[in-house]
């Protein structure tokens, strides 16, 4: 129980604290730098890729407390399942909202090229600008929360599963992931708060809503740790599911958006640099 509380506290700082800080920055300045956000997201993605590929997946194949390797097909199936689940839920949300916020055309790629599109805060803004009913605003808010949760839950699972594989809470790659995810959540929090405030919402309320959007990270971390703590096979499943979900978030969402936000070669170099830093964190 104490370990779960500690994990909840760490991921709350990363999830709620990170998005909340982003919300405060958005409330004070109401602007962001696409270049800075792109490079920050690319770097964090590189570090997360290293930890997923060179730490979590390897731990899934050969858990520390297991006498033999996990069947590789179980690993592959669970990674694929993690990818498909997050992709499928994202697809459902996109199908629901793209018709209300038409922006995919010949001049726009078929993916998000800005944070407000990625988390569907643009969808909420359209309803606020039209002064729609409270019910419509509530539904749009729920959609935005679900979109954010689809990114935050897998991020939390990687933290929890990583800590379960290490057998210690608050140290190692799990703690590094928590710090990185907290940094990654800052621009995400800005993208939530700015449109809410621009739509007329009070700054304090907008920051409070923004901070609460990071709560799913805690849920993911507790689930990842609980599943990984049941035994060697459950640990392998937890690590593989979390890895697959994170791989989709990185390759299917964060990196395409980062490259489209700042169209140059620098995001690619930032990813490589992040991967090198990740390797150093794991093996140094």
3-state secondary structure the chain: CHHHHHHHHHHHHHHHHHHHHHHHHHHHHCCCCHHHHHHHHHHHHHHHHHHHHHHHHHHHHCCCCCCCCCCHHHHHHHHHHHHHHHHHHHHHHHHHHCCCCCCCCCCCCCCCCCHHHHCCHHHHHHHHHCCCCHHHHHHHHHHHHHHHHHHHHHHHHHHHHHHHHHCCCCCHHHHHHHHHHHHHHHHHHHHHHHHHHHCCCCHHHHHHHHHHCCCHHHHHHHHHHHHHCCCHHHHHHHHHHHHHHHHHHHHHHHHHHHHHHCCCCHHHHHHHHHHHHHHHHHHC
pTM, full prediction: 0.77
Domain range for 145:
2-283
Indicate the pLDDT class of residue 83, thresholds 50, 70 and 90.
very high
- Band (pLDDT 50/70/90 cuts) for residue 79 is very high
Query: Structural domain tally of the chain?
Result: 1
Question: Poorest-confidence range of 51-60, 106-115, 164-173, 252-261?
Answer: 106-115
Answer yes or no: is pLDDT of 10 > 70.
yes
């Amino acid at each position: 129980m104490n370990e779960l509380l500690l994990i909840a506290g760490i991921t709350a700082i990363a999830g709620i604290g990170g998005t909340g800080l982003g919300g405060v920055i958005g409330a004070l300045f109401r602007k962001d730098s696409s270049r800075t956000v792109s490079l920050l997201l690319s770097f964090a993605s590189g570090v997360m890729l290293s930890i997923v590929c060179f730490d979590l997946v390897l731990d899934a194949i050969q858990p520390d407390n297991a006498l033999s390797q996990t069947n590789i097909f179980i690993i592959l199936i669970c990674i694929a399942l993690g990818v498909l689940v997050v992709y499928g839920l994202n697809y459902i949300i996109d199908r629901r909202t793209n018709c209300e916020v038409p922006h995919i055309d010949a001049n726009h790629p078929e993916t998000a090229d800005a944070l407000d599109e990625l988390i569907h805060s643009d969808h909420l803004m359209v309803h606020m600008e039209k002064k729609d009913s409270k019910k419509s605003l509530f539904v749009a808010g729920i959609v935005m929360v679900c979109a954010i949760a689809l990114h935050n839950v897998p991020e939390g699972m990687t933290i929890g599963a990583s800590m379960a594989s290490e057998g210690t809470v608050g140290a190692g790659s799990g703690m590094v992931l928590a710090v990185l995810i907290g940094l990654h959540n800052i621009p995400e929090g800005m993208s939530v708060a700015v449109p809410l405030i621009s739509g007329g919402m009070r700054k304090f309320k907008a920051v409070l809503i923004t901070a609460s959007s990071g709560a799913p990270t805690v849920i993911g971390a507790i689930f990842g740790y609980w599943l990984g703590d049941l035994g060697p096979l459950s640990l392998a499943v937890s690590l593989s599911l979390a890895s697959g979900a994170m791989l989709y978030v990185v390759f299917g969402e964060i990196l395409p958006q980062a490259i489209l936000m700042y169209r140059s070669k620098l995001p690619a170099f930032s990813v490589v640099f992040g991967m090198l830093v990740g390797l150093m964190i794991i093996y140094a």
